[in-house]
Amino acid sequence: MRVLGIDYGEKRIGLAVSDPMGWTAQGLETLANTKKSAVLEGLKKVALEYGVTEVVIGLPINMNGTHGPKAKEVLELVPKIEAALGVPVSTWDERLSSREATRFMIEGGLSRRRQRETSDRVAATLILQTYLESKRR
């Protein structure tokens, strides 16, 4: 059973996948966020390649708990992903995941250019890892 983690961004979509036991998350490539159909096809390809049985997508909730335009966009995308992949899709509060990803990359000594290239993948990995840990509790 593998879970696919998604960090849905305006320009790029970060991806991560769990190990077969569902314990750890590993970052994958990012997808360019161009057309919705291309995004769904890219997600479908990854899901088939890794045998994904579940998806978790980060939900960008505002700090005060409200849903802004980006959260509404993600919520509208959930049923489309479910239909395209044929697996259940859950949302996960991603507040501060990008900030935490940046902190990890700075501590790891990554240059600013390298941070831009990998931030979406690291954020997807953090979203998926926290989701997996919550399921184990």
HEC letters along 12-49: EEEEEEECCCCCCEEECCCEECCCHHHHHHHHHHHHHH
Q: What is the pTM assigned to this prediction? A: 0.87
Phi/psi at 132 (5° precision):
-60, -40
Q: Whole-angstrom Cα distance, residue 72 to residue 70?
A: 5
Instruction: Give 27's pLDDT tier (boundaries 50, 70, 90).
Output: very high
pLDDT of residue 135 exceeding 70:
yes
The overall average pLDDT reported for the chain is 88
pLDDT of residue 105 exceeding 70:
no
Q: Whats the size of the chain, residue-wise? A: 137
The whole-number average pLDDT for the span 122-134 is 92
The whole-number average pLDDT for the span 105-114 is 67
Reduced to 3 states (helix: H, G, I; strand: E, B; else coil), residue 126 is helix
In the prediction, which pLDDT does 110 show? Answer: 62
Spell out the domain ranges in the chain.
Answer: 2-136
Q: Which two tokens stand for residue 7?
A: 């960090």
CA neighbor of 128 nearest in space, from 84, 99, 89: 89
pLDDT of residue 134 exceeding 70:
yes
Of 3.30.420.140, 3.30.70.2860, 1.10.3720.10, 3.30.200.20, which CATH number belongs to 2-136? 3.30.420.140
Phi/psi at 12 (5° precision):
-135, 155
Express as a percent the part of the chain with pLDDT over 70. 85
Q: What is the pLDDT of residues 40-96, one digit of tens each?
A: 999 999 999 999 999 999 998 887 888 888 999 999 999 999 999 999 999 998 876
